[in-house]
Amino acid sequence: MRAILCPGQGSRPTALLPDVEDGAPQQESVGSSPVPKAVRRLVREASAVCGLDLPKLVRQSVENPDGEPLGTHVAQPLTVLISLLSALRAGLLGPAEGERAALDGPQPGTVVAGHSLGSVTALALAGALSPLEAVRLAAVRGRAMASCCTADDGTRLGGMSAVVGGEREDVLAQIHAAGLTVANVNGATQVVASGTFEALARLSAPTGARLVPLDVAGPFHCPLMAGAAPALEQAVRCLPDRPLLRPVVDDATGELHPVGTSSRVLLEALAGKLTAPVRWDLVQERLVALGTDEAVVLAPAQVLAGLARRGLPGVRLTRLS
């Protein structure tokens, strides 16, 4: 079985977006589709629905890799767009002809899963959202979360740190003792804590563990993000209900949502996930239980590919760019 894995906001873009000017090359075949023309159209339309010049913002970030990370309001629609472009180039943006029959069987032929923001991308690959709906929803999510990241005077409220190694019970005890929230459980050896900078300063690594501060714009997946929920709830109310064309593994519970499931259930869950932990450990356990033998990580793939290498032993891994 093949799993398509959709990254969250943690990975910075490492390559420029394709040229969207009319003078760019018109075709490059993937199957029978003129992909570059479709790629340029998606980039142009995504920039329009976000009200952002995404190619220019990517260029600035790539040319200054040691600078501040892109703001959440930019990074989220941009990450979803980059993921969708990599899927489009690889012919993975929708179920291929004949794949539907495989999906209707007792074992899904292709399953999708997204880490945090990647859940939006996963819903696009599952047919619950169009590509532009996914980018637009990510833009709403990003703007709403960005407003929760700073105080009225513009100062940042908090951040995130990974605790790598150590015994799980000891790690969780230290996180809670510092007044932090468990934001991500990424596997057997990595838990991410989120909260204010004051609480992060109190966090100490238990025996056998080390702390890795994360290059993120805010304290995601903790109660400080609660204010972002109403905007996301309103945005998903405007979206149509569609049956899933591919099964989706839920990044909060590891539950498998089969083909035909109403997209409404998954869309309405997005707002609650803003303050809930990502349980990528449960996602990977589910993928192993399903007999996954191939995992394709959409771009930007750095972080999620690393988690897959550790959490999906023996699975053939492909990183898209």
Q: Give me the catalytic one of 83, 115, 194, 221.
A: 221
The DSSP secondary-structure symbol of 193 reads E
Three-state DSSP state, 310 = helix
Taking a C-beta distance cutoff of 8 angstroms, is the pair 183, 220 a contact? yes
Give the whole-angstrom CA distance, residue 241 versus residue 144.
Answer: 23
Residue 73 annotated to the active site: no
CA atoms 135, 137, 140, 146: torsion sign? negative
CA distance 74 to 128: 23
Cα-based torsion angle of the residue sequence 235, 238, 240, 243 in order, rounded to the nearest 10 degrees: 30
Helix axes 72-89, 131-146, angle to 10 degrees: 160
Helices (H), 166-279: 168-177, 197-202, 229-237, 263-273
Asked whether 3 and 256 are in contact (CB, 8 A), the reply is: no
Active site residue 33: no
Quote the tokens at residue 177.
């003792």
Contact 249, 311 (CB under 8 A): no
3-state SS of the chain: helix, strand, coil percent to 5?
40, 20, 40
Catalytic site residue from 11, 83, 116, 119: 116
> What is the biggest distance separating any 2 CA atoms in the chain, rounded to whole angstroms?
58
Q: Which helix (H) or strand (E) holds 56?
A: helix 54-63
Distance CA 68, CA 79 (A): 16
The catalytic site residues sit at: 116, 221
